[in-house]
Amino acid sequence: MTLPGSPFVAYRDAALHLDGVPLDALADRFGTPLYVYSQAAMLAALAPYQRALAGRKHLVCYAMKANSNLAVLQTFAQAGCGFDIVSGGELERVLAAGGDAGKVVFSGVGKTRGEMRRALAAGVRCFNVESEAELEVLSEVAVSLGRRAPVSLRVNPDVDAKTHPYISTGLKGNKFGIAHDRAVAAYRRAAALPGLEVVGIDCHIGSQITQTSPYLDALERVLDLVEEVEAAGVPIHHLDLGGGLGIRYTDEEPPGADAMIAQLLARIEARGHGHREVIFEPGRSLVGNAGVLVTEVLYLKPGAQRNFCIVDAAMNDLMRPAMYEAYMATAACRLRDEAPVRYDVVGPVCESGDWLARDRDLAVRQGDRLAILSAGAYGMSMASNYNTRGRPAEVMIADGQAHLIRERETPAELFRGERLLPTP
Whether 239 is covered by a domain: the verdict is yes
350 phi, psi to nearest 5 deg: -80, 65
Q: Specify the number of domains making up the chain.
A: 2
Confidence of residue 343 (pLDDT cuts 50, 70, 90): very high
Pair 221, 294 in one domain: no
Give mean pLDDT, residues 406-417.
96
Tell me, rounded to whole angstroms, the distance of Cα 184 from its chain centroid.
Answer: 30
Cα 409–415–416 angle (5° rounding)? Answer: 90
Q: Are residues 312 and 338 in the same domain?
A: yes
Is residue 99 in some structural domain? no
Contact residues for 163 (Cβ-Cβ < 8 A; gap 6+): 206, 207, 208, 209, 210, 244, 246
Binding residue numbers for substrate: 284, 320, 324, 351, 378
pLDDT at position 164:
44
Query: 228: part of which helix (H) or strand (E)?
Result: helix 213-231
Quick check: 216 pLDDT over 60? Answer: yes
Are residues 179 and 260 located together in one domain of the fold?
yes
Mean pLDDT of 410-417: 96
Going by pLDDT thresholds of 50, 70 and 90, the confidence category of residue 268 is: very high
- Using the predicted structure, report yes or no on whether residue 95 has a pLDDT greater than 70: yes
Peptide bond into 214 cis (omega under 30): no
User: Is 406 inside any structural domain?
Assistant: yes
Mean of per-residue pLDDT scores for the chain: 94
Looking at the structure, tell me whether residues 166 and 225 fall in a common domain. yes
Residue where a domain terminates, one of 224, 254, 282: 282
- Which pLDDT tens digit goes with each residue over 35-50? 999 999 999 999 999 9
Residue 322 counted as domain residue? yes
What CATH number is associated with residue 147? 3.20.20.10
- For residue 10, is pLDDT > 50? yes
CA–CA dist 194, 207 (Å, integer): 35
Write the CA distances from 310 to 107, 165, 297, 363, 367, integer angstroms: 39, 30, 6, 14, 11
DSSP conformation letters of 2-30: --TTTTSEEEETTEEEETTEEHHHHHHHH
**How far apart (Å, rounded) are the C-alpha atoms in residues 242 and 260?**
13
Provide the pLDDT for residue 3: 86
Query: CA–CA separation, 208 vs 247, rounded Å?
Result: 7
HSE, side-chain direction, 13 A CA sphere, residue 186? 26
* pLDDT for position 200: 97
Q: How many residues does the chain have?
A: 424
Residue 1 has pLDDT above 90, yes or no: no
Judge if 270 and 292 occupy the same domain.
no
More confident residue, 324 or 318: 318
> For residue 168, what is the DSSP state?
B
Kindly tell me if the per-residue pLDDT of 98 is higher than 60: yes
Per-residue pLDDT tens digits for 55-66: 999 999 999 999
User: What integer pLDDT is reported at residue 170 of this predicted model?
Assistant: 41
Q: What is the pLDDT of residue 160?
A: 57
**Once rounded to an integer, what is the mean pLDDT over residues 51-79?**
97
Confidence of residue 162 (pLDDT cuts 50, 70, 90): low
Share of the chain above pLDDT 70, in %: 95
Indicate the annotated binding residues for pyridoxal 5'-phosphate: 244, 281-284, 378
Same domain, 258 and 368: no
Residues 276, 328, single domain; the answer is: no
- Give alpha helix (H) positions in 245-366: 257-270, 284-287, 320-324
> CA 164, CA 79: separation in Å to the nearest integer?
31
pLDDT category of residue 188 using cuts at 50, 70 and 90: very high
Q: Indicate the burial class of 286 (C-beta count within 10 angstroms; 0-12, 13-18, 19 or more).
A: buried
Q: Which of the four pLDDT bands, split at 50, 70 and 90, describes residue 181?
A: confident
Report pLDDT for 167. Answer: 41
Report the predicted TM-score, pTM, of the whole model to 2 decimal places.
Answer: 0.94
**Based on the domain organization, do 384 and 400 belong to the same domain?**
yes
Q: Report if residue 340 sits inside a domain.
A: yes
Q: Which domain covers residue 400, as residue numbers?
A: 9-38+288-414
Kindly state whether residues 231 and 297 are assigned to the same domain. Answer: no
Last residue of a domain, one of 282, 307, 338: 282
Mean pLDDT of 159-185: 64
Confidence of residue 158 (pLDDT cuts 50, 70, 90): confident
351-396 pLDDT tens trace = 989 999 999 999 999 999 999 999 999 999 999 999 999 999 999 9
- Does residue 347 belong to any structural domain of this protein? yes
Q: How confident is the model at residue 402 (pLDDT cuts 50, 70, 90)?
A: very high
Annotated binding site: 244, 281-284, 320, 324, 351, 378
Per-residue model confidence (pLDDT) at position 173: 55
Of 225, 257, 282, which closes a domain? 282
pLDDT at 207: 83
**CATH number, position 300:** 2.40.37.10
Residue 116 lies in a domain: yes
- Cα of first residue to Cα of last residue in the chain, in angstroms, is 65
Please indicate, yes or no, whether residues 269 and 124 belong to a single structural domain of this protein: yes
- Set 61, 81, 203, 350: catalytic member: 350
For position 303, what pLDDT does the model report? 86
Residue 394 lies in a domain: yes
Specify whether 227 is located in the same domain as 293: no
Query: What pLDDT sits at residue 205?
Result: 86
Tell whether 262 and 314 lie within a shared domain: no
- 203: annotated active-site residue: no
Cis peptide before 194 (omega within 30 of 0): no
